Structure 1
């Protein structure tokens, strides 16, 4: 129950804009990431199939939020919930980060929480997009492969339009870890690999009307906003280089109004 209460309190923060997320025409819904000792205490899954079915705690926390949204918040599809297609995560979307490697800085710590604290973080997320990168063998190769997949978030020609959540699988993380890379190095490499010439992104370039303003043709453009533009968490099972990308809500481009939020879990 303390985790569910923290999730609800986080969702009700004005800067998360739960009503806006609920009423969007887009795909997104709330995604819950749980960090800290509470994940093991209540038996959450951060390993194989972490984003899927089969774990009561993961499923129940996300489902409790969705039931509150629907039954108390009026979030009924084709009424207040105006999503054109939605995504399966709007049934429930909650998982724990894998914190078993002491060298890894967990998401909540990277966002300012104390080491050893239990925290929930709410992200406005679409469904899961897989990045299958089996042949990458160096940190640089993994970063370039992941970046190529991340470029498709929202649209390959849109930039600073939404945020993204990268769920780094163990096989990809192992390549980073064995080469002494942690969160700062991974984040920096991805950020650099996600830069592109504005001339390739402007409206009409390559015969595609979507894109950025023509006035930015001479810029080198970042894919995401600097503040919380790309979140990275670790989760999943071993066996193949298959990480996951959860694209964000386009309203996240309003960086002063729409925020990813975290809340410490009470006792």
Structure 2
């Protein structure tokens, strides 16, 4: 019986001498795999099923009665079959209820779940417990119950124990199951999981250098840009408030990645994370590019992927988004110049030939101005940024206004001609990454300022998203 009280009442009503076992937890029902109750199984001495009946069809149940061995006759109830209709509709078995089914699958011997289960006392507040254990980024978490984790795993279509990445700084293996647990806590839907997996693969590469990104006092953190068809399938935001709140996919995908780095990799403030000020992007920063509004090849195509592939790109950024406001420029080179001047503040205006990346998010109205007189390529925009940020080296000297910049000792080793040489903000145009996002109303673009690039720093990494 799937109802303990009902089973006892049934036994007493029919004066049964056979045991009536309670299956209130529905484990036996799941094991026998029937869909409708009542259900009856006739077994031989070896436990082999001879007959099975689901629902109530009087002739079937009378057939089962006829199959019973004569030795069992004294234990059979005296049934007045004339009192019953020829058939009666049954009910769906409780074990097929999605809420119960997920619990049963999570508890089954062949369950894909292997993570240690933490039992919480009935009087304990599970949210407070997770805060106390240090699982949280400071915001409330969704409790990762076995049922929720099992649902999340369905979004990956991969073996739950497959190791996706070794996560710095503790160099701990992140299985698909551990990723799913943190995705649940972040508030993700199951179909977000492939994006999270691809993002984790990206940031755990040597090129991205997640250990250095975590440990630097500059407060660097991954910024994720999603391209391709998956943007629309997940309902990601690439338009109004693309870099802000209110979109579940944007907010929780980025948060899930950060929780994995924290809870699996061990990156927590005060430990390996030594950020001086911290960074709100250490909670989340993920958005999609508005490819349909861009006049350029999308970011992922520029990085070698096909237009119809779904891709996530991870950048190590230390600050942003910093708005670049230009509501007056009408000529393409003017607006490009404003975007360049807006990038002069990366680290400090005096710092030049920077071996750092910048991610420039160009809003649709600025894009419209750039292309108002014809094609304005990404290469041309990058060149314009390098052009307008060129300054004589002597203007970069440390002085009474600012002690930062080229020291007097270093300047003394340079000739007047060398001091007159002009230098651009970035070491290379390739340090400037471009994408399009934002509302069609408002001439406000934005920049993310990077960390150090190259072998000693972090390089942007893209990974294809393996969707189901």
CA shift digits 1:142-183 (9 cap, x unpaired): 111111110000000112142211110111011112222132
- Give the TM-score normalised by the residue count of structure 1: 0.93
> How many residues end up aligned between the 2 structures?
264
Pick the aligned partner of 1:45 from 237, 240, 255. 237
Aligned to 2:388: 193
Distance 1:17 1:256 in 2: 9
Aligned to 1:178: 372
Alignment of 1:109-188 (within 5 A): 109-125=301-317, 126-159=319-352, 160-180=354-374, 181-188=376-383
Distance 2:439 2:236 in 1: 14
Computed over aligned residues only, the root mean square deviation of the Cα atoms, in angstroms, reads 1.7
Distance 1:226 1:256 in 2: 17
Alignment of 1:3-42 (within 5 A): 3-42=195-234
Aligned to 1:59: 251
SS of 2:224's partner is strand
Deviation at 1:186, TM superposition (A): 1.9
Aligned to 2:423: 221
- Give the TM-score normalised by the residue count of structure 2: 0.54
Report if aligned partners of 2:324, 2:444 keep a CA contact under 8 Å in 1: yes
Deviation at 1:235, TM superposition (A): 0.3
Report if aligned partners of 1:31, 1:124 keep a CA contact under 8 Å in 2: yes
Report if aligned partners of 1:202, 1:217 keep a CA contact under 8 Å in 2: no
Aligned to 1:203: 398
Taking structure 1 as reference, are residues 257 and 153 closer, same or farther at Cα in structure 2, changes over 3 Å only?
closer
> Runs of 5+ in structure 1 lacking a partner?
none
Deviation at 1:4, TM superposition (A): 0.8
SS of 1:246's partner is strand
Deviation at 1:100, TM superposition (A): 0.7
Deviation at 1:197, TM superposition (A): 1.4
Report if aligned partners of 2:332, 2:372 keep a CA contact under 8 Å in 1: no
Query: Is residue 2:451 matched to residue 1:239?
Result: no
Structure with greater contact order relative to length (CA < 8 Å, sep ≥ 6): 1
Deviation at 1:101, TM superposition (A): 3.4
Report if aligned partners of 1:228, 1:260 keep a CA contact under 8 Å in 2: no
> Runs of 5+ in structure 2 lacking a partner?
1-192
